[in-house]
Amino acid sequence: MKLVILDRDGVINKDSVNFIKNPNEWVALPGSLEAIALLNQSGFRVAIATNQSGIARGLFDMATLNAINDKMYRSLAQMGGRIDALFYCPHAADDNCACRKPKTGMIEDIGRRFSVDLTEVYGVGDSLRDLQAFADSGCKPILVRSGKGEETLANAKLPNQSLPDLSLPLGTLIFADLNEAAQHIITED
């Protein structure tokens, strides 16, 4: 089975430092829904792994998160695409859970859910914690410059420089957006 794991905010939809707190604030990035549909049409299953600490912070509840995701599903269906699974971490950073990226719990759960070897899976994100979770799980990390991607790239150190905690994982590919990343993933298949 062919699988791609995506972060949500900043990869599929516009991100906000104030969080995406209701369906009206969820706005797809140009070309992202078409990219997911193209992945689906090329035989890929698509899963999402997203940190949603706004729940722990009391900024929105589960019903609101479900409404936000329903808007994403409906918008994607209009483009002929689908999300096969959505995993989220509702915890705050100081909860020390195993699922919040950069930890690998969500990614490993996705691997088990789909019975897939994660070394064959691309993981697409816009932040260092996304890339770390993907790489530490064995996935092939891709950084997109959308969302926090430009900032992540500007702040990242090259591997083997000082401050290794800020290094992009070895082998990280960099693309402008999800559409460009999807094109690469399909041609590499």
Instruction: List the catalytic residues.
Output: 7, 9
Of 127, 128, 121, 134, the C-alpha closest to 159 is 128
Q: Please report the DSSP string for the chain in residue order.
A: -EEEEE-SBTTTB---TT---SGGG--BPTTHHHHHHHHHHTTEEEEEEEE-TTTTTTSS-HHHHHHHHHHHHHHHHHTT---SEEEEE---GGG--SSSTTSSHHHHHHHHHHT--GGG-EEEESSHHHHHHHHHHT-EEEEESTTTHHHHHHHPBPTTSS-GGGBPPTT-EEESSHHHHHHHHHHH-
For the chain, how big is the Rg over CA atoms in Å? 15
